[in-house]
Amino acid sequence: MNKFLLFLSFSLICIFANGQSFQLLSNDDSEIVFEHHLDVKAFKHQLFHTKKHIDFSQMYEITTSEISAPQLPRMSVSIALPARGKPQIQILYDSFVEIQNVEVLPSKGNLKRNVDPQTILCVYGDVYGVNEFYPSQIAQLATPFISRDMRGVTVSVFPYQYNPVTKTLRVYENLRIKLINDVSLTGENEMRTLPSFVLTKKMNRNLFLNGSDVLKYTPKEETGELLIICPPEMDSIVKIFANWKIQKGIKTKIVLTSETGNGATNIKDYVSNYYAENGDLVHLLLVGDHDVIPAYTYGESIGEQLWSDSYYGQLTGSDFYPELLVGRFSGNLQEVNTMIQRTIEYEKNPVEGNWMQKTMGIASGEGAGFGLNGLADWEHSREMGNTLIFAGYVDAYEFYEGSRGGNDANGNPTASMVSAALNDGVGLLNYTGHGDLNLFVTSSFTSTSVSDLNNHGKYPWVISVACNNGTFPYGTCISEKWLRASKNGTPTGAIAASASSILMAWTQPMKTQKEITNFIANSDLSNPKISLGGIFYNAQMKMLEQYPGSDGNEVMQTWIFFGDPTVEIRNEETRSMLVSHVSQINQGETSISVYCDVENTLISISQENIFLGKGNVVGGSATINFPTLSTNLPLIVTATKQNFKAYQGAIQVGNGPLGTAPNSKSDFHIFPNPANKNVNVIFKSISNCQIDIVDATGKIVKTQQFEAGTVNESISLEGISEGMYQLVISNPEMRFVEKLVVE
């Protein structure tokens, strides 16, 4: 038995999805045997040519999409392969029953979202005149793929076959399939080395049917190293962002386009070489608009360029499974500064309240009988909202075309209705419908609507299943607006936005959107994903598995992720942690114990924005080992965990300078509070900041700037009504919020 197979489990492993079950039976050097058990469902019908036709799209989530051919269920699963060899399949057992004199509805094909499926008529194609069973094969292999350090292949099974001439439907309730890997033949996308399961844990848990328990991972293992590519003029502002990432335990490197080159091929070559030398690289952040770091085009399809950012993360093989999770901060220097401020605020100290436990669904009334599982857009949206409510979300806004009952008001939603809910606070926004460069067609919510928001501190992740909401090479799209948005110098908008650069397919992205929802709801506790990039790209890989070939590839190619892929989503009300540690160590010491009341909190140690070591809290403490210190500058202790406020503290090294946590409250003092005519802010070590006074609705009622060298800033409260406010002190490196009472 070779090294590869030593990692695989011989126990029975089941994957249940879409009314199906795959079960692994055996594994050895050259073959894998597994079974498929069909969940047989009662037929649902649709009238066509005055006859009742079986409509499988209303019964099973995924169906075949060959236009004008019988639309039949397709079930798919991924199998891990050895590094080399050509896979082939054999059917070992295929017992079936036959149902006579039935009609099966033809497929309308793979439609784009600029088309209403109800306006497309079903048509009998040439297949309906052939006296054979369709599809001709019960099981099919897709092209092998590579995902990071794993090679695999998707196997699709067709448990229903139909002969349209004899009107006979075969039903295979149980199939047994053998996958043979012939090492004497050269296969596609072979690997030079044997798979390493350690790194694969970061991305591929549960991707493969024959992945053993060694693939299980903890949420923190989802975070690997981060590579940032930006133009030289943004280097200084991006360093502020990179320093925070280093402090929280993510090894981060900034590379300038003057080193990588500005062309897509140059940048891809640099990333590929860097990944080959740094196997723990997981995330890639591109900083700049299309004119600075171009999206790659895969060529033209139906008159559109297939613009892609995921291209930069597809580094091995000729497939579209990503090795890296790619995000983009698209904007100029000031706009990128806004994105950095928003991201650091979201991760360090988000606005209080339960806004992150509220979800919003905006959806068209179209797609009934054609969308995922036969659902119309609004039904799909409500299903996702219900999933999140069941998982603990406190509210699900519904803005649907038409009058759909539930939380959906009568009539069609308006942009003002959507804005009011966003200003109140929403953590997740799912849009499913028609779109354009600057528009959600349902609700008529536009880029201008985004710019007018006042949702300071309450930033949703926007997931758009619509056409062209992410076509940023041709102008400023609505997804860019979500991240560039600010009001009176303070970020508004969204923490991230995911949208298509082309006319989007109809059903495939619905699958991704549904899987994103399942990850956020923690539906599979054995397979948690918490970073935005991890959630998005793992959901995309699940979509690729269920739609192998061109139907799924195009969606992976052209769905752009705007934002920082390392950010951990907030889906519970923010809590605080208690952290303690020594205040001083000797310079010769090489370990620190940190105590925390929250288990599995990540503790990271850095010095002068150089990462030294990290560990997770177990049993109330974590001991962090690090190399011998070469300087006596203070150490920074950073504690982070999903849905908690970040903690930062400092440790003095020997007789070196006293340490203070970055941007801590000790940097300034506010008095008096409560205040009447004036409030004073005394500064110690920070400068070039902006002070905002924000009322309970999120409106900024007073803004004041101060420059370097300022020690005492007095702010007049004239014209400000009595009440409770937030005093926000911010610059590109920090954002601190203090309650202010005006009497």
pLDDT tens digits along 550-608: 889 999 999 999 999 999 999 999 999 999 999 999 999 999 999 999 999 999 999 99
Question: Do 620 and 534 belong together in one domain?
Answer: no
Question: Do 346 and 481 belong together in one domain?
Answer: yes
Residue 300 belongs to domain with CATH number: 3.40.50.1460
Q: What is the DSSP code string of 308-367?
A: ESGGGG--SSSS---SSEEEEE-S-HHHHHHHHHHHHHHHH-PPSSSGGGEEEEEE-S--
- 372-387 average pLDDT score: 97
Residue 370 included in any domain: yes
Residue pair 398/404 in contact (Cβ under 8 Å)? The answer is yes
Q: Which residue in this structure is represented by tokens 């597994």?
A: 34
Question: Do 120 and 169 belong together in one domain?
Answer: yes
Question: Do 12 and 130 belong together in one domain?
Answer: yes
Q: How far apart are CA 506 and CA 438, in angstroms?
A: 19
Q: How far apart are CA 460 and CA 378, in angstroms?
A: 20
Beta-bridge partner residues of 404: none
Q: How far apart are CA 386 and CA 396, in angstroms?
A: 8
Q: Among residues 186, 214, 242, which one ends one of the domains? A: 214
Report how far apart, in Å, the C-alpha atoms of 30 and of each of 33, 206, 571 are: 10, 22, 44
The least confident of 613-627, 633-647, 725-739 is 725-739
- 722-730 average pLDDT score: 83
Residue pair 447/479 in contact (Cβ under 8 Å)? The answer is no
- Decide which of 349 and 143 is more confident: 143
Residue pair 478/441 in contact (Cβ under 8 Å)? The answer is no
Question: Do 638 and 705 belong together in one domain?
Answer: no
Question: 2: pLDDT confidence band, cut at 50, 70 and 90?
Answer: very low
Question: Do 618 and 674 belong together in one domain?
Answer: no
User: Which residues of 82-121 form beta strands (DSSP E)?
Assistant: 86-93, 97-99
Where residue 430 falls (left for φ over 0; alpha for ψ -120 to 50; beta otherwise) is beta
pLDDT at 681: 80
Question: 691: pLDDT confidence band, cut at 50, 70 and 90?
Answer: confident
Q: How far apart are CA 243 and CA 229, in angstroms?
A: 15
Question: Do 293 and 403 belong together in one domain?
Answer: yes
- Total length of the chain: 743
pLDDT at 212: 55
Residue pair 516/539 in contact (Cβ under 8 Å)? The answer is yes
Q: How far apart are CA 295 and CA 308, in angstroms?
A: 5
Three-state DSSP at 21 gives: strand
pTM: 0.87
**Which letter does DSSP use for residue 179 in this model?**
E
> Does residue 439 carry a pLDDT above 60?
yes
Neighbours of 595 (CB within 10 A): 13
* Residue 79 φ/ψ, nearest 5 degrees: -120, 130
Q: How far apart are CA 235 and CA 588, in angstroms?
A: 34
H or E element, residue 169: strand 168-171
pLDDT tens digits along 446-464: 999 999 999 999 999 999 9
Residue type, 373: N
Residue 65 belongs to domain with CATH number: 2.60.40.3800
Domain region containing 674 = 665-742
Residue 643 included in any domain: yes
- Decide which of 721 and 668 is more confident: 721
pLDDT at 710: 54
Three-state DSSP at 232 gives: helix
Residue pair 425/454 in contact (Cβ under 8 Å)? The answer is no
Residue 61 included in any domain: yes
Residue 660 included in any domain: no
Q: How far apart are CA 258 and CA 187, in angstroms?
A: 39
* Residue 539 φ/ψ, nearest 5 degrees: -65, -40
Q: How far apart are CA 172 and CA 241, in angstroms?
A: 55
> Does residue 498 carry a pLDDT above 90?
yes
Nearby residues of 276 by Cβ (< 8 Å), 6 or more positions away: none
Residue 567 included in any domain: no
pLDDT at 711: 60
Q: How far apart are CA 493 and CA 481, in angstroms?
A: 8
Residue type, 288: G
Q: How far apart are CA 52 and CA 44, in angstroms?
A: 9
Residue 569 included in any domain: no
pLDDT at 680: 83
Where residue 343 falls (left for φ over 0; alpha for ψ -120 to 50; beta otherwise) is alpha
Residue whose C-alpha is closest to residue 67's, from 102, 100, 108, 14: 108
Q: At CA 515, angle to CA 513 and CA 521, rounded to 5?
A: 105
- 333-359 average pLDDT score: 95
Q: How far apart are CA 184 and CA 30, in angstroms?
A: 11
Percent of the chain with pLDDT over 90: 75
Residue 409 included in any domain: yes
Q: How far apart are CA 297 and CA 307, in angstroms?
A: 4
User: Which residues of 390-495 form beta strands (DSSP E)?
Assistant: 395-400, 428-432, 435-436, 439-440, 445-446, 461-465, 486-487, 490-491
Tokens of 706: 């101060």
Three-state DSSP at 458 gives: coil
Residue whose C-alpha is closest to residue 290's, from 459, 568, 501: 501
pLDDT at 19: 41
Q: Among residues 214, 246, 268, which one ends one of the domains? A: 214
Neighbours of 494 (CB within 10 A): 26
Residue 151 included in any domain: yes
pLDDT at 354: 97
Q: Among residues 622, 653, 684, which one ends one of the domains? A: 653
Beta-bridge partner residues of 182: 86
Residue pair 502/184 in contact (Cβ under 8 Å)? The answer is no
Alpha helices in 178-234 (DSSP H): 197-200
Residue whose C-alpha is closest to residue 427's, from 536, 520, 534: 520
* Residue 68 φ/ψ, nearest 5 degrees: 70, 10
Question: Do 188 and 238 belong together in one domain?
Answer: no
Structural Rg of the chain based on CA atoms: 27
Q: β-pairing, 395-400 with 358-363?
A: parallel
- Decide which of 668 and 187 is more confident: 187
Where residue 18 falls (left for φ over 0; alpha for ψ -120 to 50; beta otherwise) is left
Average pLDDT for the chain: 89
Residue whose C-alpha is closest to residue 183's, from 301, 402, 31, 346: 31
Q: How far apart are CA 531 and CA 223, in angstroms?
A: 8
- 174-181 average pLDDT score: 95
> Does residue 470 carry a pLDDT above 90?
yes
Residue type, 55: D
Question: Do 50 and 72 belong together in one domain?
Answer: yes
Residue 602 belongs to domain with CATH number: 2.60.40.10
Question: Do 552 and 587 belong together in one domain?
Answer: no
Q: How far apart are CA 516 and CA 536, in angstroms?
A: 6
What is the number of domains present in the chain?
Answer: 4
Alpha helices in 362-507 (DSSP H): 377-390, 415-424, 447-451, 478-484
pLDDT tens digits along 65-85: 999 999 999 999 999 888 899
Residue 679 belongs to domain with CATH number: 2.60.40.3080
Question: Do 149 and 289 belong together in one domain?
Answer: no
- 244-273 average pLDDT score: 97
Question: Do 617 and 526 belong together in one domain?
Answer: no
Residue pair 320/314 in contact (Cβ under 8 Å)? The answer is yes
Percent of the chain with pLDDT over 70: 90
Alpha helices in 649-728 (DSSP H): none
